Amino acid sequence: MADFGADVELEDFRAEAAAWLKANFPAALAGKAAMSTDRAGTGDIAKWRKAIGEKGWATPTWPAEYGGGGLSPAQARVLAQEMAKIGAFNPLMFGMGVTMIGPTIMDYGTDVQKKTHLPPIIRGEVQWCVGYSEPGAGSDLASLQTKAVDNGNGWTINGQKTWTSGAQYSDWCGCLVRTDPSAKKHDGISFMLIDMHQKEIETRPIALIAGASPFCETFFTDAKAPKDALLGQLNVGWTVGKRLLQHERASQTGASMGGRAVSLDQIAKNYVELDAGGRIADLDLRTRLTRHLMDAKVHGLTLARAMAEAKGNADPGNAPSVLKNSATNVAQTRAELTLEIFGHQGLGWEGAEFTREELETVRGWLGGKAMSIYGGSSEIQNNIISKRILGLPDNTQST
């Protein structure tokens, strides 16, 4: 029997959400999610970031006791639907505090850590970065050598991280460090919350082919962290780190709220020839576009299922490896198809003859090539899938 009471409650909440969005979301920002990545933004974007942060709806299902929305998953879906209707977006979903660090603190943090770090993340007042990869520890992350030594009063950190997105303007860093060099490489690692506002930490931006880059090299030279900087148990940081990657891969796979991208078939109809029935005339393009839309839909459904299965389960699973590769395929295929659809308008780098969308697509296509590498390369994900999901033998072992 249908729960009509629940349906009524959701519709009541839908009306509440629609009214609040109408009163607080600046209409001039509709469809402009890319603007939200600048935390120092002013005007409408600053106003919107403040409003949704104080409401708690940037983190709709996070506990209300920390300033989150306290919504049910069903209510959060309704909120996302209402945001998508008006082109609204979540201005904090691009930050690592909301997508990675905050959820991991909720999984493993002490009460003090939660009360200290979650509220400013929810309000968008702090910027976080993640210190994982090193020059000698990329896909083989467990080979990391950045060390944290107990100095009696706290921790002294020395080493280098690379590809630390946003490190140059971050306030805090969630960092994997080696705390027991004598242990097996997976067993001597801890996860630490490190204040970036100290002269012992230096960041150097890394330039990329797409023009702009969020990436940095980060150097720790006798940097300091207090004893309670550990997230989770000492030398059990590998488990914490894997859980963060699970949250990261969920955020990379379309789990953000609002600002739904324009469907690629709608974009195509503005650029390519249509037949008498209003369909894309090129049968080959139409077939490939249809296959892509099906893949994107299947990916979204798989993501929703994986997130539901992970709810309340602090043990990292292997589904994120499947989703990471699926998200990479969907995103890179969309970028390739978009450039093809644009034709010669997809060749621009600058100039008034190209629209902002066309120029951003070209740069996004270039930047999107990195999806096959960051967050764990596609090859590494395939190894995890083959061994931990399919149960295939490890072909790296000597015979």
Residue 233 reports pLDDT greater than 80: yes
β-partners of residue 350 are none
pLDDT of residue 323: 82
pLDDT band for 53, please (50, 70, 90 cuts): very high
Residue 14 is part of which domain span?
10-94
Q: Are residues 138 and 196 in the same domain?
A: yes
Residue 152 in domain: yes
Per mean pLDDT, which range of 97-101, 209-213, 266-270 is the poorest?
Answer: 209-213
Give pLDDT tens digits for 387-398. 888 888 876 554
Domain finish residue from 237, 253, 281:
237
Per mean pLDDT, which range of 145-149, 314-318, 381-385 is the poorest?
Answer: 314-318
Residue 271 in domain: yes
Residue 108 in domain: no
Residue 256 in domain: no
Q: Are residues 336 and 267 in the same domain?
A: yes
Q: Are residues 266 and 226 in the same domain?
A: no
Q: Are residues 295 and 215 in the same domain?
A: no
Rounded CA-CA distance 25/28 in Å is 9
pLDDT of residue 160: 97
Cα atoms in the Cβ-side hemisphere of radius 13 Å centred on 379? 4
CA 171, 129, 259 angle in degrees (round to 5)? 105
CATH at 361: 1.20.140.10
Return all residues near 86 (Cβ < 8 A) that are at least 6 apart: 21, 22, 25, 27, 30
Give pLDDT tens digits for 294-322. 998 888 888 777 767 766 665 556 777 78
Rounded CA-CA distance 148/194 in Å is 11
pLDDT band for 156, please (50, 70, 90 cuts): very high
Choice among 248, 273, 336, 340 that is catalytic: 248
Q: What percent of the chain has pLDDT over 90?
A: 48
Residue 305 in domain: yes
Q: Are residues 55 and 167 in the same domain?
A: no
Q: Are residues 201 and 156 in the same domain?
A: yes
Joined together, the tokens standing for residue 193 give: 């919350």
Q: Are residues 210 and 265 in the same domain?
A: no
pLDDT of residue 363: 84
Q: Are residues 277 and 213 in the same domain?
A: no
Residue 2 in domain: no
- How many domains are there within the chain? 3
Give pLDDT tens digits for 208-218. 776 667 789 99
Domain finish residue from 237, 253, 285:
237
Q: Are residues 270 and 304 in the same domain?
A: yes
pLDDT band for 257, please (50, 70, 90 cuts): very low
CATH at 159: 2.40.110.10
Least Cα distance to 42 among 32, 34, 50 occurs for 50
For residues 69-88, average pLDDT:
90
Is 248 among the residues known to form the active site? yes
Q: Are residues 139 and 221 in the same domain?
A: yes
Q: Are residues 163 and 82 in the same domain?
A: no
Q: Are residues 132 and 227 in the same domain?
A: yes
Rounded CA-CA distance 128/113 in Å is 15
Rounded CA-CA distance 131/287 in Å is 42
Residue 119 in domain: no
Query: Residues 149-152: contacts with CB within 8 Å, 24+ apart?
Result: 149/179, 150/179
Residue 116 in domain: no
pLDDT mean across residues, the chain:
86
